[in-house]
Structure 1
């Protein structure tokens, strides 16, 4: 009885405490948010305050504060979640749509899916888990200044104005328009002057002029912060003018907080605070680094390590507790704006359920954006669209049936991925024969012809592979889960667990099986994994890739005797990110080109799906194939082996169409001169294959435009390490590009007329510009109307030309429409050498049309240009 009484008293005390904290002002939704936030902070101990400044913020049970992980991603759809979600085209592909309306809708749909996932997490008490929250660290609005940067695929291209407009549309769509609550919180990254190289990003010091800073690197951030009201900002890894970006006097204190009056939250890039003392060597230790980051307005640390020393920093009088309170107020204000401390009935997004995940409307928009993103680069003799009367297609190349390529990076996982092969099969059915052969890798033609050996695997005398999983990275203790699997071939996107009860990240695994040799033969085994793995044969270590690997593949050979048994053990661990372990077997060979040409000799058309993929370019990757290094590229040329195969295919005399997939500009001078049909399809999302098939057969009239310059060769590029803009992008490049920024063809033809400007224009006044656009072709289509401004006076710092307006419009065959732009005084101004925006009295040129001035484009009339004097 005494024991029961004690339990009753404990329960009563708990209930009383629960009742008590609900009476605190922090929980009173009728009070101003500032009052509630300050009340909450006042009730935290120093240790509790510091814990709330980590990305994985723990629960504070005495106040009813739930655990929350700030880290989430939504680059082109909700990323790294355990749920099946809609995957839109990669960011660079969405930029190629030049359609702010589509990007707004995409962000709105992604936020809706994110809300559904978060609502599920709250109901299941999973708010402490990463990738289930509502603070998304997107968009990436860094300027894609150099095509060699592997993360450029995450951006909206090389132009500050295009980036700003698309980024603004994304923020508005994601955050919603409710006056009180955020649908989700966007975050502008990486602030600032950050765009490679990847291998040196933790130690690199960017030192640019005031002109380049304000003309190129800051405009998009300014737009998102001062006008779009983005909720968050992420400071970059690199240093800027000898100070780490997250502790930059100029970037953080002067510009962000003082000039732009930003009152949202700032997160460090992940483990960027460690870089202060480990790589930049600007701070003596973790404690000083943490305090200095906070004093510069970095409110939350991604990495959950250095900020733990803030407790000591306060006790050592390096920083005060009140200075921590400034950051805490920003952080909890965001959480209040997300509705985390109000009754669900008050928050308009809490009733969204999982039925919105991959809804038909969302998937339809993913397809639409994939279609919109495709850029028709060449169409000699109207090779495209293909006629539906053809009977046989040869589909060749490394991206013909590659699901990784269409998903890009920072991606979620859909229920179904439509590759080029699947897209063609669905469109054509049994009416057209498709001969598919990979034939070549991205950078070589040494193919491992995989064979299914799973029927020869056994464990404990039964078919299969013994799989043991641990909820730690070192296989410590007893396995948390042991199951039997068919083979060793897994890919788990971030947020997906390899087995019931196993972490989505920070886990390890051991796979053991016995292979009974089917033949006396030389087998090639290929292993790959996202982080570390190692292979043992008969308990002898044969392949060691235990260090961070990120998709790198390794091979080992094994001479087998028929009937003999070989013990195979594969061990792996997973830290952050996508998880993968693949162990394949086969024999190495090269495609017999002569035999391939004979096989496809009666094809009506040859489609070569090549380019590159996120397996080669991306964030800090250990990839060292020819032309690639650490996620970046050392050459922008299409890998030579692909050009060789295209030459062989052209020699058949058949029409050849090059379907290029990439997240960055590729130089294809031979292809431009010799291949009649070329489309650039980027990394098109889950419906990429459907969109490509639609464009190839004319069910969709392409209208994508390049958001980056496609240079002719590596010789056109300045030093990758230099952040000076001279010679970079269409705004400062004096050479002749292969395909210019803003370029893209159509199956229709468009003309422009009715463009007029006054002879003079008053300084400081807005200018309205109108033009009539007509579709004179036989096919309905879309045109991207582009407006550029050029300063021809004595201004030393002006770009050659600068985009200042764009609209994507749909016109039926024979239809005309007036298009209007309003240019603000800022749009008619230039940045001075000291970084000030000025409007000089001088003559300027305003150009309007389907591309840049003086750029030839066979499916749109020449750009119209007129001058006026600013007085």
Structure 2
């Protein structure tokens, strides 16, 4: 019996329930008072009164000896209609009379526990995929779930129970990265459904744990389905996908997540699919997810997606929220994430009155949600749940940070190398480029706060010795987007003493927050407008503004609200045009700072900086931080870079883009960038110009490209000596990069996406047909193919052994000898690709069907064995049905796509299925 069968069997027999102190925004449904609601669901008033006074532990749904179905029936049967509907929001309020704590379902763990303060930050998901190592992803997810459990119980013990404190994680993102222009592609495992599915299984298993009774955390596969941009129009787009493309490309990773990993949750997407909103699609949620695949978990809407059903600027398919709520619920969406537009499901009471839905459909959704909370152990004694004792000391432990460094090393892909790498000891290098000190390229998006963030420059200086490293940023990332903001130093910040004399540091007033003062704010969260207390709790002099708080400076509590006002004088040491970056409100000479400011050296500017930190409000930072940073945009950065480069032996160019330019529904509107997506995939022109000037110096140039998506590095490939694709490698970026550049570690990463030469080679961004997309269907010339990656050693494949023929329905056994024929130890990613040239319909040109990471010493050989299951030898017909294949099966085993472009190390053979 496998783990999934075992878990389902035990679930059917009854799970233990735990009472965790979890909270959320107490937003309730408008369905009438408790007495009327009780009457509507057949619970009489006297029963409700008895329930309210009963001892919680004596209630039948608390009885762990009962089957889970009986316990769910008992719990839901005790709820009023209003209470049941309220549990279908992402921020579900408490039902105090039943001892049910409030809970917010929203939490994130894409590549580390996210948005919940300090946590180990691993490479962004696209970098995790570049390892081509599913076992390693399992280790990563196990670390993440360890830290998640520790932080959850720590927050609960300190009275913090709202968004980002729970155990239901909305990760991984397993959409197919079909087009490099999509800004959120960095969150995925790339363009291949097989690779995505295999990595997803390992990641989900690591998050959910291996206990047969309890989930460690609940993972989610998102966004179902046919979802990969554009970001700007995702709320209104209707994507047409053929049955063949659905079965062949869009569905397989989700099917694998459900049927092989037993993923607990699925998130439906914003967009429509073939006319229906994804969160209201019977085809997706009923027929495919639940009926065909047997999904037993819960479905969550993307946040605000159900409001898109009726919003005039979105899908605009129905006239009223109640109709949208009924549509989504009947299709199988259980949780309405309503952030931004409240909860459409608040209208379910009206929908029930108008016979749009049946109450049994509400009951079904509520039971699915509480089944998950049961599996997480949210009503059991802590000592009966194996994960409750994981201590906070695991967060950022030495072992976890070591794994982050190891994974970062394995995530980097050596795209080109003419022999300049690895660098020899004592090499004098010039680190030039806008990403040398850019924090954003470490973490990507959906990230936590790193424990020990190491920038590329810091890592290189540590490895090579400060005396062998010079640095200049060289340019902006693009336009007015800079990667090298610095903390405004103590040399620039002053205040006046009682005698009017300038003294070092800013006067800082630390205030308690009085949430009862002021009017209600008009934003979507209904947060009271905060007013600081009349008097500060204390004042002090702060030399700079660079703070991270795990406890309130006011009362030393973990969940205390507070505000800070800094006042003083700014005295710049150099004249110029400055940009400031801070999360706080900044005034200079009494005027808000918005955009570039001209400052004169030695002049005094009155400065006020203020911020309020509301940790008791759902969605606010759990561990707040604030910095005051700036950059002088007037400097001749190119001239500075050329000057420092002249004295170096090798130029290390740290360029690319950042997660501040590409990502989810952003406001960025620049040349080549549009609302989080990209309209071009070239390196920004300011960096191209700088590279050409550096090239003219005649020195070797190694480019380290940071991006979450493919880049058209055409000139760079032709003119630079080496190129490393780093993606966004996590908090150990600098250390891992330096070790790779100097050969302490041998690169083994492979591209999980195709690097095209131009967007002109691609179909329309909104076209969801896979014709001429990704390596499986693209017929043009590419810069670097999917699966490509170089090493400092050489590997050879020999003695490929496959049968000449196999019978229909038989598996295909492959064995081959892999030899490290070079002079260094190294890791090889062996990839098996199949082609089905005799299929009666159009099929992929080639498809990845197996991969394996192998570490070999110099001269060492090993035999690799692969088994391709019979279902992987089928093809998808035009009706979307898998059909048994007969004819030739062309296969390659090697370091990439066989003879295709840059993969010289491979073996090939043909097998016939008669």
Determine if the TM-score, normalized by the shorter chain, exceeds 0.5. yes
Alignment partner of 1:243 is 2:276: yes
Alignment partner of 1:426 is 2:462: yes
Alignment partner of 1:384 is 2:425: no
For residues 32-431 of structure 1, what are the structure 2 equivalents within 5 Å?
A: 32-82=67-117, 84-127=118-161, 129-278=162-311, 279-303=314-338, 304-380=342-418, 382-390=419-427, 392-429=428-465
- Whole-Å Cα distance in 2 between the matches of residues 489 and 516 of structure 1? 12
Alignment partner of 1:866 is 2:909: yes
- Whole-Å Cα distance in 2 between the matches of residues 442 and 230 of structure 1? 39
Bigger CA drift: 586-595 or 309-318? 586-595
Instruction: Give the drift of 1:445.
Output: 8.2
Query: Is the CA contact 2:510–2:554 (under 8 Å) kept in the aligned structure 1?
Result: no
Q: Which runs of no fewer than 5 residues in structure 1 stay unpaired? A: 1-13, 544-553
- Whole-Å Cα distance in 2 between the matches of residues 328 and 758 of structure 1? 53
Query: Is the CA contact 2:707–2:728 (under 8 Å) kept in the aligned structure 1?
Result: yes
- Whole-Å Cα distance in 2 between the matches of residues 449 and 264 of structure 1? 45
- Whole-Å Cα distance in 1 between the matches of residues 233 and 547 of structure 2? 29
- State the Cα deviation string for residues 463-508 of structure 1 (Å, max 9, x = none): 335576866678835315957674885687xx97886589999999
Query: Is the CA contact 2:839–2:885 (under 8 Å) kept in the aligned structure 1?
Result: no
2:719 matched to which residue of 1? Answer: 674
- Whole-Å Cα distance in 1 between the matches of residues 528 and 556 of structure 2? 12
- Whole-Å Cα distance in 2 between the matches of residues 787 and 209 of structure 1? 27
- Whole-Å Cα distance in 2 between the matches of residues 663 and 812 of structure 1? 32
- Whole-Å Cα distance in 2 between the matches of residues 366 and 534 of structure 1? 35
SS at match of 1:409: coil
- State the Cα deviation string for residues 336-380 of structure 1 (Å, max 9, x = none): 000111222221111111111112211111111101111111111
Q: Which runs of no fewer than 5 residues in structure 2 stay unpaired? A: 1-48, 516-520
Query: Is the CA contact 2:159–2:559 (under 8 Å) kept in the aligned structure 1?
Result: no
- With the length of structure 1 as denominator, give the TM-score of the two structures: 0.90
- With the length of structure 2 as denominator, give the TM-score of the two structures: 0.86
**Aligned in 2, Cα 1:722/1:211: closer, same or farther, shift over 3 Å?**
same
- State the Cα deviation string for residues 205-236 of structure 1 (Å, max 9, x = none): 11111111111111000001112110000000
**Aligned in 2, Cα 1:505/1:761: closer, same or farther, shift over 3 Å?**
farther
- Whole-Å Cα distance in 1 between the matches of residues 561 and 581 of structure 2? 17
Bigger CA drift: 587-596 or 300-309? 587-596
SS at match of 1:686: coil
**Aligned in 2, Cα 1:756/1:189: closer, same or farther, shift over 3 Å?**
same
- State the Cα deviation string for residues 739-790 of structure 1 (Å, max 9, x = none): 1000000011011111133232211111111111100001010111101111
Query: Is the CA contact 2:554–2:562 (under 8 Å) kept in the aligned structure 1?
Result: no
Query: Is the CA contact 2:551–2:560 (under 8 Å) kept in the aligned structure 1?
Result: no
**Aligned in 2, Cα 1:434/1:561: closer, same or farther, shift over 3 Å?**
closer
Bigger CA drift: 23-32 or 467-476? 467-476
Alignment partner of 1:714 is 2:759: yes
**Aligned in 2, Cα 1:497/1:626: closer, same or farther, shift over 3 Å?**
farther
1:697 matched to which residue of 2? Answer: 742
Instruction: Give the drift of 1:794.
Output: 4.5
**Aligned in 2, Cα 1:646/1:799: closer, same or farther, shift over 3 Å?**
same
Alignment partner of 1:763 is 2:808: yes
Instruction: Give the drift of 1:28.
Output: 1.1
- Whole-Å Cα distance in 2 between the matches of residues 557 and 468 of structure 1? 32
Instruction: Give the drift of 1:649.
Output: 1.5
Query: Is the CA contact 2:51–2:97 (under 8 Å) kept in the aligned structure 1?
Result: no
Query: Is the CA contact 2:839–2:886 (under 8 Å) kept in the aligned structure 1?
Result: no
SS at match of 1:163: helix
Instruction: Give the drift of 1:50.
Output: 1.1
Instruction: Give the drift of 1:405.
Output: 1.1
Instruction: Work out which of the residue numbers 449, 460, 472 in structure 2 matches 1:437.
Output: 472
Instruction: Give the drift of 1:853.
Output: 2.4
- Whole-Å Cα distance in 1 between the matches of residues 872 and 558 of structure 2? 47
Bigger CA drift: 784-793 or 295-304? 295-304
2:35 matched to which residue of 1? Answer: none
**Aligned in 2, Cα 1:236/1:590: closer, same or farther, shift over 3 Å?**
same
- State the Cα deviation string for residues 590-646 of structure 1 (Å, max 9, x = none): 425445433332212111111111111111111122211111111100111112211
SS at match of 1:693: helix
- Whole-Å Cα distance in 2 between the matches of residues 592 and 509 of structure 1? 37
Aligned alpha-carbon RMSD (Å): 3.0
Alignment partner of 1:609 is 2:654: yes
- Whole-Å Cα distance in 2 between the matches of residues 501 and 717 of structure 1? 57
SS at match of 2:306: helix
Query: Is the CA contact 2:701–2:720 (under 8 Å) kept in the aligned structure 1?
Result: yes
- Whole-Å Cα distance in 2 between the matches of residues 445 and 201 of structure 1? 27
Query: Is the CA contact 2:245–2:770 (under 8 Å) kept in the aligned structure 1?
Result: yes
Instruction: Work out which of the residue numbers 828, 832, 847 in structure 2 matches 1:802.
Output: 847
Query: Is the CA contact 1:459–1:514 (under 8 Å) kept in the aligned structure 2?
Result: no
Instruction: Give the drift of 1:120.
Output: 1.7
SS at match of 1:464: strand
**Aligned in 2, Cα 1:820/1:584: closer, same or farther, shift over 3 Å?**
closer
SS at match of 1:700: coil
- Whole-Å Cα distance in 2 between the matches of residues 188 and 723 of structure 1? 20
- State the Cα deviation string for residues 503-538 of structure 1 (Å, max 9, x = none): 99999978563536679x9663424467xx876555
Instruction: Give the drift of 1:163.
Output: 0.3
Query: Is the CA contact 2:413–2:790 (under 8 Å) kept in the aligned structure 1?
Result: yes
**Aligned in 2, Cα 1:16/1:167: closer, same or farther, shift over 3 Å?**
closer
Alignment partner of 1:782 is 2:827: yes
- Whole-Å Cα distance in 1 between the matches of residues 760 and 820 of structure 2? 38
Query: Is the CA contact 2:565–2:609 (under 8 Å) kept in the aligned structure 1?
Result: yes
For residues 480-559 of structure 1, what are the structure 2 equivalents within 5 Å?
A: 482=536, 486=542, 511=565, 513-515=567-569, 524-528=577-581, 538-539=589-590, 543=594, 554-557=595-598
SS at match of 1:378: strand
SS at match of 2:633: strand
- Whole-Å Cα distance in 2 between the matches of residues 40 and 525 of structure 1? 60
- Whole-Å Cα distance in 1 between the matches of residues 677 and 54 of structure 2? 56
What is the aligned length?
A: 835
- State the Cα deviation string for residues 99-122 of structure 1 (Å, max 9, x = none): 000000110111011111122233
Query: Is the CA contact 1:90–1:153 (under 8 Å) kept in the aligned structure 2?
Result: yes
Query: Is the CA contact 1:506–1:576 (under 8 Å) kept in the aligned structure 2?
Result: no
